[in-house]
């Protein structure tokens, strides 16, 4: 058994697995959620993103079976034990959280990998619907387990693409590769600078604590889903913009091309395109400033990113805007919504001495506006997916 700080949780999960399924698991794996520091909706436009894995994870205890039966249970959600046949997986039959592990098994099968039946018990402390990629944490933990136990031998890049296929074609969410790349390839104390065109990764130092800062996550409690129409319509606008501009992807449009683009696109499509183009530029600037000057010098870029998502991409909401504006007014050096939008969380990069002031002010502001009380917590860059036992 592992001797890491996760040992008590691993022991508890293994014990519950044994009492539920009748024997010990073959192993326990975990994968983290992620915060996207900057670079929103650029991933499926073959652009640049800068997420990092966080210290909140999904854990799965898994045992391979000698038949095609799959049995799934979660410690939360009240769904109870779910059973399926690994050789008869169809997207329409999967419900709730089980879409994610079943989608991973299906995606591996689509790659020609023989996936046996398995028993799986899942536990997670990644907040649901908060824009911290709880679904990808589950998928990345599951693919780490099945990749090892099935002997598939996939590398990180192939696991990223397999989980993306699970999301796109099984779950029905038209997401890119950012979330699973952060979860599978994250590193403690670093952000993951990802080029979504070729999957190349550069680990960029991001140690807020050393700079006298904390990164607050403000979970607005406004739930969102990437499988709904808002995300899909933004992606469709981006694809239309690239088509009209005659480029393979909006990655290939630069700041200097925007004036010409404004005359070729309708106003809505142009604003969508402008967000992607300027957001890519902000990611590159953020990487440069983190590398040369440190976290204290990226605040204005975070602010500009939020304004672009609010005004050009139109994926914010009143709760997110209030969280961002209040954080800035009470000491945060930069703040933005993070994740796919339409709810979820904001992040606020805040001097340690102003942390409590920001927390208290946001709670008061939400109460005054009649919004649900937000959850506010800190995150730090953590390691990517790993086997714990």
Tell me the three state secondary structure of residue 334: strand
Q: Report the DSSP beta bridge partners of residue 85.
A: 69
Instruction: Determine the Cα–Cα distance for residues 227 and 72; give it in Å rounded to an integer.
Output: 22
Q: Report the DSSP beta bridge partners of residue 31.
A: 58
Q: Is 67 a catalytic residue?
A: no
Nearest of 228, 122, 140 to residue 183 by alpha carbon: 140
Instruction: Determine the Cα–Cα distance for residues 19 and 59; give it in Å rounded to an integer.
Output: 17
If you write DSSP's letter for every residue of 187-201 in order, what string do you get? Answer: -TTEEEEEETTT--E
Question: Cβ neighbours of residue 167 under 8 Å, at least 6 residues apart?
Answer: 103, 135, 136, 139, 173, 175, 226
Two tokens, residue 68: 């095609």
Element (H, E) at 343: none
Two tokens, residue 85: 């046949």
Catalytic member of 43, 119, 123, 179: 179
Nearest of 176, 174, 187, 64 to residue 119 by alpha carbon: 64
Instruction: Determine the Cα–Cα distance for residues 271 and 310; give it in Å rounded to an integer.
Output: 11
Question: Cβ neighbours of residue 298 under 8 Å, at least 6 residues apart?
Answer: 37, 38, 286, 289, 290, 334, 349
Q: DSSP state, 312?
A: T
Q: Which residues belong to the active site?
A: 179
């Amino acid at each position: 058994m592992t001797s890491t700080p996760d040992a008590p949780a691993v022991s508890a999960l293994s014990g519950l697995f044994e009492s539920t399924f009748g024997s010990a698991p073959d192993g326990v794996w975990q994968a983290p959620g992620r915060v996207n520091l900057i670079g929103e909706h650029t991933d499926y436009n073959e652009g640049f993103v800068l997420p990092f894995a966080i210290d909140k994870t999904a854990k799965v205890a898994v045992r391979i079976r000698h038949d095609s039966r799959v049995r799934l249970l979660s410690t939360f959600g009240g769904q109870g034990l779910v059973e399926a046949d690994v050789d008869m997986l169809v997207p329409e039959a999967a419900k709730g959280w089980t879409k994610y592990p079943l989608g991973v098994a299906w995606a591996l099968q689509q790659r020609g990998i023989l996936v046996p039946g398995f028993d799986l018990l899942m536990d997670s402390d990644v907040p649901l619907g908060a824009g911290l990629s709880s679904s990808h944490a589950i998928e990345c933990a599951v693919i780490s387990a099945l990749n090892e136990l099935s002997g598939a031998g996939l590398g990180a890049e192939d696991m990223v693409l397999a989980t993306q296929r699970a999301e796109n074609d099984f779950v029905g969410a038209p997401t890119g590769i950012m979330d699973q790349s952060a979860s599978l390839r994250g590193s403690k104390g670093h952000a993951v600078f990802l080029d979504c065109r070729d999957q190349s990764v550069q680990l960029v130092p991001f140690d807020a604590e050393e700079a006298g800062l904390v990164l607050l996550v403000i979970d607005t409690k406004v739930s969102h889903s990437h499988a709904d129409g808002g995300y899909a319509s933004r992606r469709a606008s981006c694809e239309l913009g690239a088509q009209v501009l005659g480029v393979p992807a909006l990655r290939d449009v630069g700041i200097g091309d925007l004036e010409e683009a404004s005359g070729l696109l309708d106003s809505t499509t142009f604003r969508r395109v402008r967000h992607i183009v300027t957001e890519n530029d902000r990611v590159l600037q953020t990487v440069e400033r983190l590398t040369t000057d440190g976290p204290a010098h990226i605040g204005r870029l975070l602010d500009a990113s939020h304004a672009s998502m609010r005004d050009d991409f139109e994926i914010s909401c009143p709760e997110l805007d209030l969280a961002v504006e209040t954080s800035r007014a009470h000491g945060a050096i930069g703040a933005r919504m993070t994740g796919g939008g339409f709810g979820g969380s904001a992040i606020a990069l805040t001097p340690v001495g102003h942390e409590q002031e920001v927390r208290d002010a946001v709670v008061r502001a939400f109460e005054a506006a009649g919004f649900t009380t937000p959850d506010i917590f800190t995150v730090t860059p953590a390691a990517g997916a790993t086997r714990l036992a």
